[in-house]
Structure 1
């Protein structure tokens, strides 16, 4: 009786999983449709407004316009102090909003000019703008640039001298001070009662005018870079009443945005969001060579042949990778220098400045090089390892082509790097889901790269709009995408996992993803190649036929691969994996058989192939 009930429940669960999968597919389609309708609605509303005011010179848009009492002075400061001819998209709207004492969140791509949204108001208000930023390197760079413009700005952190600390504290509590921008980390605010006390005094004398929070997505636990000290920032709206809050980020989904507004207590904040697309950037994903040496050789070749003499960034996962890659690039005649968090401050500063000035062609860095510095002529950004989220990739690759000229973003991708990253992010609330999203982006060879990004950022995008500015759209191929049944290969993968698990009496015979790839490649050697096996394991992970299981050791976290929830209720039938004909991974012998075979003997050849698949080692 119990077995019948379990069987019935398993069948019901499998049906539910099937329905969920169908719903997930429909959700993507509905999101795109919704965005298209919203954009169409806004366009119609704008036409109606324009028609209503066709006899008036009044600009319809409420914020992105001149005509405010401060507009003339803002335009003068833009040209005379910042030496810029015009505002970039959304900058003027954000400035007008905070000058009107409205809270606002600005979502602008990397290089979109977010810093001007709070730097210019600091001069307009003739008071203090507090800037909360997690990136000390970015802060130092901005202060250097501001001082060149004769704008008094400083930061307070652990390395600030006592003399500078006293100067700043005196300045921010003096309403007649010429001091304009104070940069602090969220940790500084959270841990320094003295700092909060000085800011309260600044408000009481009427000097504190604006609070800007950079990388505001870090406030959200749903974001890709949540930081616990950002949670302290929820006191700002209550503590500094009447002071507008301006949040700035390059990336934020609607869930993250809602969470940020709620956490900061600015639910009514205006939102200024630019489109995700940067038309001058070309996106490519390249299959990564099996050995580090081969991959490094290929990157050096790409730089020498495609970007000779041009400036770029190579992002690596670890400091050892950075140093190794920089060394190899130098042996190939490339002026390269590594950059990571474990370097001495003076050495990091030297690498940074030499790269800015052009003495160094390529900076090889970890994400510690996240300063978003104003270097417009970066012609390429290469990721040696897959980043931990689409947001991270978008921000890091977005440091290319800030001058609007063509630039290239290349992502090297292989299965083993997924397990390296998953072991590092698995403790984060959304770490694995964020990682798997970028894995979907990288492993999908049939969908426009911009379409994948647009889906993530909840924007509508048609492949034709890409203008062949990604490898998928540019690739001219006659290969046809087909849904290929991989149920037999999947059974072999599962059998390998179970055999290893049962090989040890206590059931501790767990298997890593890399070991599974080795054994599966050996098992299928007569019919499928290693590249196919790698794509299969990725597909099964993303579709929950397999899943990662993490175990802690004294020194590290190890990712093992186990049977997933979908396989547990699998009752047979096809498992369809989308593949191009050139991705089937057929052996040369098998490929020749298929080409030689006519439609009349097709089934016989397939039967022979199946026998090959199930051969024992």
Structure 2
């Protein structure tokens, strides 16, 4: 097709581009290179799919997501797009057919993993056909300082020399200024036009609460907010270790949650089955390491939960962005505690990187801690990390239930003094938070007695706080950089920032730990898949959803690739009575009209006559 607007309407079923899409598409169609930073759910895929259908030749889409390629291609084929993929999961005869179709000019898009594209044979094969453009998805993977570095992405910079006249577009949903600059340099896109959209996802409620009994907190959260229209919602729970993933999934399943584990140590067939179920079933909760989720287009994930502290804000933003791609209310929840900080610091200390690498990792963790401990709007803090400024959002825990702050200078001095005196009087400052708190509370245990710590002047002077209160103080002092965990056992040491606090020259304001109130939960909980419909129209919406589920099951495809909830919602509200009227519904192009139009009109006629 020769016109981008014709493609948008007839293939994808949309009347208008969103945000920067129109400019990006026009620029790439004209042969220009582009770097696109756009939030998850912002419509990045259209930025290369539309030009691929307008320009002559076949577009190569570089994607690290072999497990998802079949579904990505299947969704395009539902639209009538001639799409295919090449990867190691195919039989030789299947790959041969794709190669034949490419060379014959019968493909519009072909998906290839970076590992395959770095091979000489693949490049020589592609050179025998005609390339329309090269799209590099998840481009942040090229950054060695980012949260998801993939070494095979480094070779993609060579594409600029191999195909200097083929436009290239690099896309990502997460990039700080440093990552943005690095991907631009490594992919040789210095002359590209840059499009940076707002990273704000206003439909997501961000909430972080102190970790007490994490599994029970998670279960309470899922039971309270993991519900849509009275039915269990689809969600993702992230944990750092494979062992934790399996234990949490087992705990949730034992308590009635449809939960399954996912991590790289599981058998490939088990992982494929889990991914297949997640994309096709409603109400499933996947408990996973960060290996799960990138590139998943499932629009109705209602919550993302973190049971462990993420390593960076970039990673946190990428993971939470997998919720609410359909624009409906969704929740990003995290339980975070002092032990998380200790574990992260230990991992940094034990990493194989050099001092510069460990310093960068520490800076990333410091930014994550600042997000967790902020008494102000979390969304402001989150977007500020990406150099974007907004007003307080009114849709995060600190906006919905602003935490009180208190002058924690005296408790901070007591804790810091304990560390200082242990070093001066006992020639050892290497104690963890638990022992320091025991000293302040005047605990009478064997370790205190054996080491003679009852003689400290700070012994028993901290009874104004309980153990939980003191852990909060320690956690926030770590976040402020006044003390720092060190070594395998998370021992606490003073930094240069401790001196002015001890001398009384600096006030230390701390936030009170508060748990989410029912008011916050009520405000943030998604309760309906079609919140704007009347009761009668919602009944029609449910009829259409059941029909869609049957069609998707028969086709072996995710339901949202048939029609999105938004499309079904518009059908239920407008009730088109002809194929022409149905073609005017957002998300219905010519191919979907031909495939499903008559069935939808029959359902509408039966509903109206009932």
Measured against the shorter chain, the TM-score band is 0.7 to 0.9
1:366-445 counterparts in 2 under 5 A?
Answer: 366-425=289-348, 427=351, 429=357, 430-444=360-374
Q: 1:243 aligns with which of 129, 143, 166?
A: 166
Q: What is the deviation of 1:276?
A: 1.6
Q: What is the deviation of 1:473?
A: 0.9
1:75 aligns with 2:5: yes
Q: Distance in 2 between matches of 1:305 and 1:165?
A: 42
1:335 aligns with 2:258: yes
SS in 2 for 1:576: coil
Q: What is the deviation of 1:98?
A: 0.9
Q: What is the deviation of 1:549?
A: 3.5
- In structure 2, relative to structure 1, the CA distance for the partners of 1:225 and 1:501 (3 Å cut) is farther
Q: Distance in 2 between matches of 1:303 and 1:266?
A: 43
Q: 2:414 aligns with which of 486, 489, 507?
A: 489
Q: Distance in 2 between matches of 1:581 and 1:369?
A: 34
Q: What is the deviation of 1:560?
A: 4.6
Q: What is the deviation of 1:296?
A: 4.5
1:353 aligns with 2:276: yes
Where do 5+ consecutive residues of structure 2 fail to align?
444-458, 515-610
SS in 2 for 1:417: helix
- In structure 2, relative to structure 1, the CA distance for the partners of 1:570 and 1:339 (3 Å cut) is same
Q: Is 2:310–2:368's contact at 8 Å kept on the other side of the alignment? A: yes
1:298 aligns with 2:244: no
- In structure 2, relative to structure 1, the CA distance for the partners of 1:407 and 1:299 (3 Å cut) is closer
SS in 1 for 2:170: strand
Deviates more, 1:514-523 or 1:372-381: 514-523
> What is the count of residue pairs matched by the alignment?
489
SS in 1 for 2:297: coil
Q: 1:460 aligns with which of 371, 381, 389?
A: 389
- In structure 2, relative to structure 1, the CA distance for the partners of 1:170 and 1:582 (3 Å cut) is closer
Q: Is 1:130–1:181's contact at 8 Å kept on the other side of the alignment? A: yes
Deviates more, 1:331-340 or 1:400-409: 331-340
Q: Is 2:345–2:486's contact at 8 Å kept on the other side of the alignment? A: no
Q: Which residue of 2 aligns with 1:153?
A: 83
- In structure 2, relative to structure 1, the CA distance for the partners of 1:514 and 1:367 (3 Å cut) is farther
1:179-198 counterparts in 2 under 5 A?
Answer: 179-190=107-118, 192-198=119-125
Q: Which residue of 1 aligns with 2:126?
A: 199
SS in 2 for 1:337: strand
- Residue deviations 1:349-371 (CA, integer Å, cap 9, x gap): 33233233334432222212223
Q: Distance in 1 between matches of 2:431 and 2:90?
A: 50
1:164 aligns with 2:94: yes
- In structure 2, relative to structure 1, the CA distance for the partners of 1:216 and 1:491 (3 Å cut) is same
Q: Distance in 2 between matches of 1:582 and 1:320?
A: 29
Q: Which residue of 2 aligns with 1:610?
A: none
1:276 aligns with 2:213: no
Q: 2:286 aligns with which of 355, 358, 363?
A: 363
Q: Is 1:546–1:564's contact at 8 Å kept on the other side of the alignment? A: yes
SS in 1 for 2:12: coil
- In structure 2, relative to structure 1, the CA distance for the partners of 1:448 and 1:481 (3 Å cut) is farther
- In structure 2, relative to structure 1, the CA distance for the partners of 1:300 and 1:462 (3 Å cut) is closer
Q: 1:451 aligns with which of 380, 393, 397?
A: 380
Q: What is the deviation of 1:481?
A: 5.0
Q: What is the deviation of 1:125?
A: 1.8
Q: Distance in 2 between matches of 1:335 and 1:219?
A: 36
Q: Which residue of 2 aligns with 1:50?
A: none
1:572 aligns with 2:495: no
Q: Is 1:282–1:470's contact at 8 Å kept on the other side of the alignment? A: yes
Q: Which residue of 2 aligns with 1:144?
A: 74
Q: What is the deviation of 1:531?
A: 3.0
Q: Which residue of 2 aligns with 1:470?
A: 396
Q: What is the deviation of 1:448?
A: 0.4
- In structure 2, relative to structure 1, the CA distance for the partners of 1:511 and 1:235 (3 Å cut) is farther
Q: TM-score, normalised by structure 1?
A: 0.72
- Residue deviations 1:527-554 (CA, integer Å, cap 9, x gap): 2223332233333333433334346xxx
1:498 aligns with 2:423: yes
- In structure 2, relative to structure 1, the CA distance for the partners of 1:104 and 1:560 (3 Å cut) is farther
SS in 2 for 1:412: strand
Q: TM-score, normalised by structure 2?
A: 0.72
1:105 aligns with 2:35: yes
Q: Which residue of 1 aligns with 2:245?
A: 322
- In structure 2, relative to structure 1, the CA distance for the partners of 1:516 and 1:485 (3 Å cut) is closer
Q: Is 2:433–2:471's contact at 8 Å kept on the other side of the alignment? A: no
Q: Which residue of 2 aligns with 1:539?
A: 476
Deviates more, 1:219-228 or 1:435-444: 219-228
Q: Is 2:40–2:321's contact at 8 Å kept on the other side of the alignment? A: yes
- In structure 2, relative to structure 1, the CA distance for the partners of 1:424 and 1:122 (3 Å cut) is farther
Q: Distance in 2 between matches of 1:317 and 1:496?
A: 36
- Residue deviations 1:296-343 (CA, integer Å, cap 9, x gap): 443454346797522222222223322222222233332222222223
Higher relative contact order (CA 8 A, sep 6+): 2
Q: Is 2:8–2:15's contact at 8 Å kept on the other side of the alignment? A: yes
